[in-house]
Amino acid sequence: MEIKEENKRFALYDEETEVGEITWQEASGDVLVVDHTFVDSHYRGQQLAQKLLAAVVEKARREKKKIMPVCSFAVKEFKEKPAYDDVLAR
């Protein structure tokens, strides 16, 4: 599995097949609005959506940005993971 950043999204590939993605929009004030997460049903249960979100969190930390979770998956993960509090837009 490989995660690649492509035009305001991270895509997850199993060899050459795209099997998941997480997308964001950039808001004013250096905020990444995470608006969509998807993993193909054949690949669910492997923590792949969590890995995609972790990639966005690392990007935000590296670029000194904040994240506003909007999609239901990202909202749930931010509530359950206090380790992400440093990048949560308030």
What is the distance between the alpha carbons of residues 20 and 64, in angstroms, rounded to a whole number?
25
pLDDT band at 28 (very low <50, low <70, confident <90, very high): confident
What mean pLDDT comes out for the span 17-41?
96
Q: Which amino acid is at 74?
A: A
Instruction: Tell me yes or no: is domain 2-87 CATH 3.40.630.30.
Output: yes
Model confidence pLDDT, tens digit, residues 43-84: 999 999 999 999 999 999 999 999 999 999 999 999 999 999
pLDDT band at 9 (very low <50, low <70, confident <90, very high): very high
Contact between residue 67 and residue 60 where contact means Cβ atoms under 8 Å apart: yes
Q: Where are the alpha helices (DSSP H) in the chain?
A: 48-63, 72-80
pLDDT > 90 in the chain, percent: 97
What is this structure's pTM? 0.95
**pLDDT of res. 29:** 78
Q: Within a 10 A sphere around the Cβ of 20, how many other Cβ atoms?
A: 22
Written as one string, the DSSP assignment of 64-83 is T-EEEE-SHHHHHHHHH-GG
Sign of CA dihedral 76, 15, 46, 85: negative
